[in-house]
Amino acid sequence: MSAEPTLLAPDDGQETQEAQPSAGRSGWASLRPLVLRLHFYAGVLIAPFLLVAATTGLLYACSYQAEKIVYSHELRVPVGENKTELPLSKQVAAARKAHPEGTVSAVRPSPEEGATTRVLLSGAPGVDADRTLAVFVNPYNGEVRGALEQYGSTGALPLRTWIDELHRDLHLGESGRLYSELAASWLWVIAGGGLVLWFARRRSQRKLRGTTGRRRTLSLHGSVGVWAAVGLIFLSATGLTWSTYAGQSVGDLREAIGQTTPALTASAGGGEHAGHGGSGSSGATGGDAAGLDAVLEAARAEGLSNPVEVVPPADASSAYVVRQIQRSWPEKQDSVAVDPATGEVTEVLRFADYPVLAKLTRWGIDAHTGTLFGLVNQIALAVLALGLILMIVWGYRMWWQRGRGSSFGRPLPRGAWQHVPAHVLVPLMAAIAALGYFVPLLGIPLAAFLAVDIVLGEIAYRRGRRTYA
C-alpha cells in the first residue's frame, strides 16, 4: 500500500506508547509493533528504489500512446479508395529492395486498415543482436515508409524500448535488474503491511476531513494506499515472474508441476517474457519469400486472424511458424507450423490448451506491461504509479513531521519481536526464511535489517540507552 512508514509518527505520543509491547500481550497486540518497525525500515530504505520504479513505470505506461504519435509516419498510411493489399511476398520484396542487409527473421502483415506491414531483419549492420530492423511497408502500394529498430514480441520501437530498459535495469544491463527486483520483492510486503496497519486503526483515526499536520498526511497516505494496495501487490507479483532470481524460482516451480508454456516443435522463437525484457527475433534465414502467401493462407484456414507474425524456417529441416501476437483482451496466441515444401499445416498449438499457470502468467505479464486491456490498462498503470509516488512523498513527509518539522523522527523502539509469543514467532520466522529463500532480494535485505538492528540494540544496551528488550 505504501512505500513509507504509515503509523510511525504520533502527534501526541499516544501511538508511541501503544507501540511499546508489554509482557503478556498476545495476538495482534504483540505483532503490531513488529509490523510497524518492519514497515518503517522497509519504507525508509526501499522507498528510493520504489520511487525510481514508479517514475519509470509511469513513463512506460505512457509510452504506448507516445509511440503512436512519434512514429505515426511509419505506423500508419492513408487507405484511399483502393483497399486491396499487395501479396505479402511483394511487400517483402519491396522491403528487401530498400534494405538488402541482414536476413528476414519475421514478417508482420498489416493487422488492420491503414496500418503498415513490418518486415523484420536480423543481422542488419548497427543493430544489436537482441533486436531487429523493422522495415515499414505500405501494404497497398509497396512504398517503404521507413525503418526502425524493434525490440521484443510487443514490437517496441526506439522510444518505448529506451523507456522499457530504463524501467527494467536503468540501462545498466543485468546488474541493473537487481534494482527492479528489489523493488518488486518488497512492494507487496510494504503494501500488505500498510494495509493491515490501516485497517487495524480505530475508524475515528482514519478520517481525513478536519485533520491537519501529520495526521492529515497520514490519512492521505493511508487512504490512497488502501485503494491502491491490490494493484500494487499485483504489480509486485507479476514483476517477480520474470526477475532474475525470484523469476528463476517461479520457472523451476512451474516446470516441476508441468505448467510451463508449450511451444511448437518447429519453433525456436520468443518466450512469454519477450514483450518486456525478452529478446527479439531469432535471426532465422529468410527462405523463399514467394512462399509467404501460401503459408499465410494456410494459417488463415486454421483460424489465425490478425495480428499475426510469420517466421521463416530456421534451416532446411524446419517449418514456417505463424503465430498470433495480439496481447489485448481477448488474447490471440494460437500458432501453427507450415511445411515450406507443401504449404500444409503440420502442427497446431491453441492458447486454449495452455496449462492454467501458463495462461495466468501470460495474462499477468500483459496486464503488468499495459497491453491486456489497451488504453484502459495503461491509464490504470499510470494512476497506480502516480499513487505510489505520492505515498512515498507523504511517507517521508510524515517522518519529517514526526521530528516536529525540524528533523526526521526516530524509528520505533527495538525489541518488539521479543514480545511475540513463541507459538506465533517460530512459524512466522520459518515462513519468512522459506520465502526469503525463494525471493532472495527480500530475504537478504531483511536479514541485513535484523542484523544491523541487533547490533545497534546491543551497542545501545552496553551504553545503557536501550529503550526496552
Condensed to tens digits (0 to 9), the pLDDT of residues 276-328 reads 544 333 434 444 544 899 999 999 999 999 999 999 998 888 999 999 999 99
What does the pLDDT read at residue 466?
52
pLDDT in tens, 379-412: 999 999 999 999 999 999 988 888 776 667 666 6
| pLDDT band (50, 70, 90) for residue 7 | very low
What is the predicted pLDDT for the residue at 405? 67
**pLDDT top residue among 274 and 143:** 143
Instruction: Report whether pLDDT(267) > 50.
Output: no
Which amino acid, residue 372? L
Q: Which three cell numbers stand for residue 414?
A: 527495538
Transcribe 119-142 into DSSP letters: EEEES-TTS-TT-EEEEEE-TTT-
What does the pLDDT read at residue 328?
A: 95
349-388: b (≥16 Cβ within 10 Å) or e: bebeebeebbbebbebbbbbbbbbeeeebbeebbebbbbb
Q: Is the pLDDT of residue 6 over 50?
A: no
Q: Which residue has the cell 545503557?
A: 464
Helix or strand (DSSP H, E) at 311:
strand 308-311
Q: What is the DSSP letter of 410?
A: P
Range with lowest mean pLDDT among 36-45, 241-250, 264-273, 297-306: 264-273
Burial class (CB in 10 A: 0-12, 13-18, 19+), 103: middle
d(CA 85, CA 259): 41
Residue 19 has pLDDT above 60, yes or no: no
Is the pLDDT reported for residue 164 higher than 80?
yes
The model's pTM is 0.86
